[in-house]
Structure formats: C-alpha cells, structure tokens
Chains A and B, each alone.
Chain A
Amino acid sequence: MSTIEQQLQVSAIKSGTVIDHVRAGQALTIVRLLNLAAQHKTVTIGMNLPSRKMGHKDLIKVANYELPPEEANRVAILAPDADINIIANYKIKNKFKVSIPSLIERLIVCPNPHCVSNHEPMGSKFATLHRGETVAVRCWYCEKTFTQDEIVDYRV
C-alpha cells in the first residue's frame, strides 16, 4: 500500500499536522497527553495500519493545527520513530522527526509504587538513557531505571 493510499484511509487534511509512524496502540494516549482534541480541533486517528517499516502503526491527523517540535518531543518516548508532517494546502510544508529529550518532566507516572512522586502532590522527572537501539528512563527521585515497555501510565 502506498503512503498516499494509507493516508487517504484516514482522510486527507487540507492543513494541519500528520503524526506518522506512531507505535501501534499509542495514538489515543498521545492525543490525550498533547490535548490535541481541545478547542474543537478535528482529529482523525488510524490504528493498527499496515506499515512496511513497523509492521503495524498508528497515525494521527489534526486539522488546522501546527504541532510545535518541542510539544512533539515531549511525548517522543511513546513514539520514538514518529515523523511529524506539517501540511498546508494538501502538501507537506515541513517534515521532522521527534527526538527524545534528555530530561522528561511531568509526563511519566513512575512505575515504582514506592516512589515519592506517586505519593506527594508533585511532578515526575526522568532522565533518558540510550542503550543502542532502545531507550530507558531513570527516575530522578527513586533512581530506578525502566524500559519503555515498563512504563504503564502517563500524567495528563
């Protein structure tokens, strides 16, 4: 299936943002965390679309909204392979890949139930550790390290 056909599966947008190559199953979480559906923005989501690169992927389209790179990077840990396409008049105006910041704040719920960040009214803070192809995160408070698969919840 060509990219255009794939994108048409979830309807083309005239202008806005297409977040492509999102890990299958993560689209709804990303929409929630980036508050993409706020202020009546039109959001179209494709889930478990076939992908040559990833096997299956999710895709998010937000009409009439340009996602700033720093916002996209904020959730990059959920979708490290994501491509962001900024669309204007049905054409790609700008394209960039997300990059995982070295410090992720107020996003991840620490999987350690004994971590102070799960018991006090406070934010969470994680340092990212690159291990070859994979990325792990280390809690600033309890000092435990977790793989991406071990992160089960995120803060809205």
Chain B
Amino acid sequence: MPTNFRNRDILSISEFSKADILKVLEHAQRLKAARRPTLLQGQVLGSCFFEPSTRTRLSFESAMQHLGGGVIGFADPNATSTKKGETLYDTIKIVSGYADVITIRHYLEGAARRAAEASDKPIINCGDGANQHPTQTLIDLFTIAECQKKLNRLNVALVGDLKYGRTVHSLAQALVHFNATLYLVAPDALQLPTQASRELREQGVRFSCHRTIEEVIAKVDILYLTRIQEERFGDPLDYERVKNAFVLSNKQLGRARPNLRILHPLPRVHELLPEVDATPYAQYFEQAHNGLFVREALLGLVLGKLK
C-alpha cells in the first residue's frame, strides 16, 4: 500500500516504498498524457534555492505554473536575510507562512530535513549537498520505465563518479526494489563508497565493479552516465589518466543491445559526445523533459490534489 502523500515531505529516496515509487510514476505518466491546467489553482510554491540550479528549479517552477499555481522564491541566497545571518530554520519558517509547498536546494547535507522541522507545509528536497536528490531519482525511474516498458530485472550500468555523485547513490538505492543487476563502472579512485556497496550487499543486490564501458556495453539495458568531476582529483595527472576511459562515443556503441538507452542527469561536459545524440540510444534529453511531469505529480500528491 502506498503511503498517503498529502502533506508529506519528500526528503530521501530511502523513505520511498516500491508502492510509493510506482504511484508517483503512474501519476507522472497521466500528466504527460493529459495536462491538468487548473489542478493547483490558488496554491503557491515557495522555491528556495541556496545553490545554483537550472533544470531542477526551472522544471519545478514550470510544473507549478502548468498546474495553475503560483511561484515565489529566490535563486540567490545573497538577496535574502541569509546574508544577514538568518538561520535556515528561520528562513523556512517565514516562507512556510507564504507558501503551500516548499522546494529547497542547499549546499549542506541534511538541510532539507532541517527545513522540514521548521515548516508545517510539505518540503521537497531538490538536492542537499552530496546527500540526496530524490526527485531526480524518480525522474530516472520514470524514464527507465518509459523507454524499457518495464522496471523489473533490468541490467543497469552506473558510470563515472560513483564516489561523490549523489544521483547514482540514490538510483542504486531505488533499484533495490526492482531486482536490477548493477554494473558499477568507475576508476578505482571514484568507485562506490564502502558504505554504499555494503548497503547494496546487505540488501541482496547483484552488482559487479568494472573499469571500462567496453566491459559492460553488450550486457546492459541502461547506461547511466555521470560527469567525472575534475575538481575531485588531487593530482591533475590522475584525472588525465581516467577521463578518456569514460568518454562515450558512437564507436563504443557497436556492440550495444537494440533496447539500450543512455541516461545522464546532465549537465554533461565531455563524457558524452554530441554525436551520440543522434543515435536511438540517447534518452537524456527526454529524461530532462520528463522532470516536468514527475515534479507535477509530486506537487499534486503532496498538496492532496492527486490521490
């Protein structure tokens, strides 16, 4: 049984049961098929972005407006009382008096959960440092289900920065519900942290570690690429050594299964060549577009307008 979403905070993917995930995806699919321009009429979204964001902030604001609601908020904390030393708790307490639902992105880990303590309105975590980004994971799952026509028993390769990338941690956590086999492709220095791999093992997930995309390309249904973050490397030479192992070009796709689809949370830098965009495998722009419908579904659910 899915949880009742009305007034629920969306903080961490670990708090989603399988039924919860499927409920969000089902509503997102309906909203993609048929718009609901008056669903959230008279409701206000408080958009509190303490850190830069393009897709997440704009897609949430757009989702609210597509559903007939209004948006207030800020994208630059320097223009708020935070600059004067106001605590996060106080800022959110104030905004919760003006809005019916709050989206928050913050550079500190756990900031969204702290915000939830300050607010009696639902809080949606749009990324708290390197911790969680649950709405991105729901978009990933929606896109996977849409392009593969199923979510169960898929072979999924997670490629790139598996150590610091929050999207891959959350996606791996969510895929536990769907019996996936995971192929973790990363240089040794950026492999999945011990804690995350221990949790996967404890949950009985099948996974293996690899150093190149070529090792796994013929086996997988989903290739989930992430950016290798140059700034994580102490020695620039170390970065130079690994960066080319994770540049995806059409050449590497020769042995791909016909149903393979490539996902990327974006922004991409040079790990995904533009030539791949024209192949039938590219799904990342559709994935970004799907953000709108998944976020519409979440807004409708937490505001009690979707059941």
Contacts and interface: CB of A to CB of B under 8 A. Distances in A.
Contacts of A142: 109-110, 129, 131
Contact of A116 (B110, B130, B195): B110
Interface in A104-141: 112, 114-117, 119-122, 139-141
Contacts of A140: 110, 113
B44 to A, nearest CB: 25
B108 A114 contact: yes
Contacts of B108: 114-116, 119
A144 interface: yes
Nearest to B199: A145
Nearest to A140: B113
B129 A114 contact: yes
Interface string A70-82: 0000000000000
B195 A141 contact: no
A122 B117 CA distance: 11
A143 interface: yes
B14 interface: yes
Contacts of A144: 109, 195
Interface in B215-255: none
Given A114-B129, A116-B114, A120-B114, A141 B109 contact: yes
Interface string B130-163: 1110000000000000000000000000000000
B87 A121 contact: yes
A143 B114 contact: no
Which size class do A's interface residues fall under? Answer: 10 to 19
B111 interface: yes
B109 A114 contact: yes
Nearest to A139: B110
B12 A143 contact: yes
A32 B89 CA distance: 29
Contacts of A139: 110
20 contacts: A112-B109, A114-B107, A114-B130, A115-B109, A116-B88, A116-B111, A119-B108, A120-B87, A120-B89, A120-B114, A121-B87, A139-B110, A140-B110, A141-B109, A141-B114, A142-B109, A142-B131, A143-B109, A143-B110, A145-B195
Interface of B: 12, 14, 87-89, 106-111, 113-114, 128-132, 195
